[in-house]
Structure 1
Amino acid sequence: MNDELLTIGAFAARARLSAKALRLYDRLGLLAPAQVDVASGYRYYRADQIERARLVALMRQLDMPLARIAEIVEAPDGATAADRLGAYWADVETRVAGQRTLAEYLRGRLSGRSSEMNAKFVIETVDVPEQVLITETRHVLAGELPAWIGASLGRLESASRECGGITAPPFVVYHSEVSMESDGPAESCVPVADESAARAWVERHGRSWETKVRVEPAQRLAYTRITKAQVAHPQILAAFEAVEAWIPKNGLWQAGPCREVYFAEWDALGAEDPACDVAFPVR
Structure 2
Amino acid sequence: MTEDARVDDELLTIGAFAARARLSAKALRLYDRLGLLAPAHVDELSGYRYYRAGQVERARLVALLRQLDMPLARIAEVVEADGAEGAGLLAAYWADVETRLAGQRTLAEYLRGRLSGRSSEMYGKFVVETVDVPARVVITQSRHTLADELPAWIGASLGRLEAAARECGGVTAAPYVVYHAEVSMESDGPAESCVPVADETAARAWAQEHGRTWETGVRVEPAQRLAYTRITKAQVAHPQIMAAFEAVEQWIAAQGLRQAGPCREVYFADWDAAGPEDEVCDVAFPVK
TM-score where L is the length of structure 2? 0.96
Aligned AA (1:5): L
Query: Could you tell me which of 30, 35, 45 is aligned with 2:41?
Result: 35
Q: Deviations over 1:239-270 (max 9, x none)?
A: 00000000121232211111000012222123
Q: What residue is the counterpart of 1:86 in the other structure? A: 91
Query: Could you tell me which of 244, 251, 258 is aligned with 1:246?
Result: 251
Aligned AA (2:262): P
Q: What residue is the counterpart of 1:192 in the other structure? A: 197
1:126 to 2:126 alignment: no
Query: Could you tell me which of 202, 222, 225 is aligned with 1:217?
Result: 222
Q: Deviations over 1:175-219 (max 9, x none)?
A: 111111111111110000100000000111111111010100111
Distance 2:256 2:59 in 1: 66
Which moves more between the two structures, 83-92 or 181-190?
Answer: 181-190
Q: How does 1:1-283 map to 2 (within 5 A)?
A: 1-75=7-81, 77-283=82-288
Aligned AA (2:167): E
Count of aligned residue pairs for this structure pair: 282
Q: How much is the aligned-residue C-alpha RMSD, in angstroms?
A: 0.9
Aligned AA (2:217): K
- Structure 2, gaps ≥5 residues long: 1-6
SS at match of 1:238: helix
- Structure 1, gaps ≥5 residues long: none
> Could you tell me how far 1:229 is from its partner in structure 2?
1.9
Distance 2:103 2:128 in 1: 25
Aligned AA (1:22): L
Which moves more between the two structures, 266-275 or 217-226?
Answer: 266-275
Aligned AA (1:241): E
Distance 1:226 1:17 in 2: 52
What's the % identity of the aligned pairs? 83
TM-score where L is the length of structure 1? 0.97
